[in-house]
Chain A
Amino acid sequence: MSAISELSTISRRKGKATAEEKKANGRDNKAAYIFLLPWLVGLVAITIGPMLMSLYLSFTDYNLLQPPEWVGLDNFTRMFSDARLHNSLGVTFTYVLVGVPLQLAVALLIALVLDKGLRGLPFYRSVFYLPSLLGGSVAVAILWKQIFGTTGLVNQVLAMFGIQGPGWISDPSTALGSIILLHVWTFGAPMIIFLAGLRQIPVMYYEAAKVDGASTLQQFWKITLPMLSPILFFNLVLQIIGSFQSFTQAFIVSGGNGGPSDSTMFFTLYLYQKGFGQFDMGYASAMAWFLLVIIGVFTAINFIASKYWVFYDD
């Protein structure tokens, strides 16, 4: 299905060439490389080249004006003692570790309710999907800024019940929460993947379970969840990778400064400030590589853990 399962297939089948691949005269190297040319140029000039360059820059002091100056591990030792960076890591981890599971849980819940041949399914699906298309935009971030403001929509509604709500985004203890809520609001995309996955589960499993007298809840735990686990895993990996890079919402809601008192200072926001606010390109590069390592570690943990909970049918 996904890039992820393709990757694991490649690593599993390493060294085992198919008959077609062994047939050397069946190769069309020239044609292939011509077709691949734009991609290859992009890979070298836009991806791998800049990656290596940023690795180099992470060991330098560079402000765009003077040539880069080699400073060894300075940027990395600086990161160790940079309290704002540690805070931004905390903010990002909270966002990822709360927002992603919450979003996926809602997506799965709604998908389960939607799945059982309900009338009006296409309509509901559209309604739930729309926010995930709009959620990444500046416009919705602006809306959020108003909704969770001191006199915003949420507090207006609360006032109708006589409750005086806090200034959600101006209060450091709730600001991140409102951005997490925005992430949860965009559950439509994973919901659609879940819906597609639910259709793949053979109905005979449920019929057999029913004959054996299994309850709805038992059916969910023993059939639905295991059968859906590859898709849950896929959603989890992608959402975690994506959420670590989240930027726009925090930027707009906080007015670009990650406030109040750094409570929405995402790692990416801090990276942007360092690189493109202060033009501390060396430090920003070191941060970018650190982010890559963090995402890599999280993905690796995910893959290792998946051996214990993801169930493959084939």
Chain B
Amino acid sequence: MTTKLQTLPAPDRKTSGAGKPKNHRKPRESRGTLAFSRSQRTKALGKHAILILAGALMIYPLLWMVVSSLRANELIFREPGLWLNSLEMSNYTDGWSALTHPFGHYMINSAIVVIGSILGNLISCSMAAYAFARLQFTGKKLFFGIMLLTIMLPFHVVIVPQYILFSQIGWVNTFWPLIVPKLLATEAFFVFLMVQFIRGIPKDLDEAARIDGAGHPRIFLRVILPLMVPALATTTIFTFIWTWNDFFGALIYLTDPDMFTVPVALRAFVDSQSATSWGSLFAMSIVSLLPVFLVFLFGQRFLIKGIATTGIK
């Protein structure tokens, strides 16, 4: 099963139209009578109808939030449609400065945590993955098994002592509790993703480098790392999205408004405002979703490949 799914075709590579036969799947109906193709076309049409309807239903709330963020406040509770009579930018300017700091401050905080987490995951997870995929050592199977188990370990089992530990070294209200675990490869998901990827790189390349006198650090840096860029990209993108959205960790460790990341700042916004300022709340929500949306737009290929091959959420 492992090997089978490693060779999964990248789902996004297929852009062939409906009429063109797929390389590994012949068209099911090949008796090309007129009646048949017509019924086929109705069937496809029906499918498109279902999909467009379902898709519209899925996306409508998001579109409506974007439109509502550009509306006067009272309209949010009266106007379910997507028509905009005028552009109300005041929600954005009001929301931007509604909290202790301008919203950009929280975005910078989030960016610091995100960059630290990405670097941490890239370095620590790729190192661990190299050891698991390429090196023979005592206890390898045991450690590998433990690593896989930690993927499924609920965060809550460790959060209380982790909090105690970090508060005793004075790290509450710093970004360290959110970054240091990533530097220590605790997001085992990515270790696994990279192990899978390295296993697919031909071992001859390592051998050739070894014959040329390269040691493991050199093979890792010069041979493996350049070849695993797609896995590194997937890791970067997922780390970005997960860290940017991370609420629980930030809620626990960041209580000082100076240190708030975007999710906890938004939460403070919800709490501080009564129902009168939904417009600016929506506006800042849109701002907070924008980076994720951009990453989705440009990194979709890696996201979908990453999910399809390792089953990450």
Contact = CB atoms under 8 A, between A and B. Distances in A.
Given A27-B136, A146-B278, A291-B154, A38 B304 contact: no
B183 A130 contact: no
B155 interface: yes
A47 B127 CA distance: 18
Interface string A190-213: 001101100110010011001000
Contacts of A120: 48
Contacts of A47: 150, 153, 158, 186
Contacts of A126: 296, 300
Interface string B38-60: 00000010011011001100110
Contacts of A71: none
A105 interface: no
A93 interface: no
Contact of B157 (A3, A145, A292): A292
Contacts of B1: 1, 5, 230, 312-314
Interface in A294-314: 295, 299, 312-314
Contacts of B145: 7, 10
B62 interface: yes
B252 interface: yes
B80 A121 contact: no
B160 A39 contact: no
Contacts of A114: 51
A153 interface: yes
A50 B150 contact: no
Contacts of B227: none
B187 to A, nearest CB: 9
Contact of A129 (B27, B138, B153, B304): B304
Contacts of B160: 50, 54, 57, 275, 281, 284-285, 288
A42 B184 contact: yes
A117 B28 CA distance: 11
A64 B8 CA distance: 50
A281 B137 contact: no
Contact of B270 (A133, A142, A295): A142
Contacts of B161: 49-51, 53-54, 57, 285
A310 to B, nearest CB: 11
Contacts of B4: 1, 200, 314
Interface stretch (B9-17, B84-92, B96-104, B228-236): B9-17
A252 to B, nearest CB: 6
A43 B18 contact: no
Task: Identify the 5 closest CB pairs spanning chains A and B, nearest first.
Answer: A42-B184, A1-B5, A139-B285, A32-B137, A50-B161
Given A42-B186, A196-B8, 18 more contacts: A29-B137, A31-B216, A39-B127, A39-B185, A46-B181, A47-B158, A118-B18, A118-B44, A133-B292, A138-B285, A147-B61, A151-B77, A192-B307, A193-B307, A242-B313, A255-B271, A281-B160, A289-B157
11 contacts: A33-B131, A36-B143, A39-B127, A46-B180, A51-B161, A118-B48, A128-B58, A153-B64, A195-B308, A276-B252, A292-B153
Interface of A: 1-3, 5-7, 9-10, 20-21, 23, 26-29, 31-33, 35-39, 41-43, 45-47, 49-51, 53-54, 57, 64, 110, 113-114, 116-122, 124-134, 136-140, 142-143, 145-147, 151-153, 156-157, 160, 185, 189, 192-193, 195-196, 199-200, 203, 206-207, 210, 230-231, 234-235, 238, 241-242, 244-245, 247-248, 251-252, 255-256, 268, 271-272, 275-276, 281, 284-285, 287-289, 291-292, 295, 299, 312-314
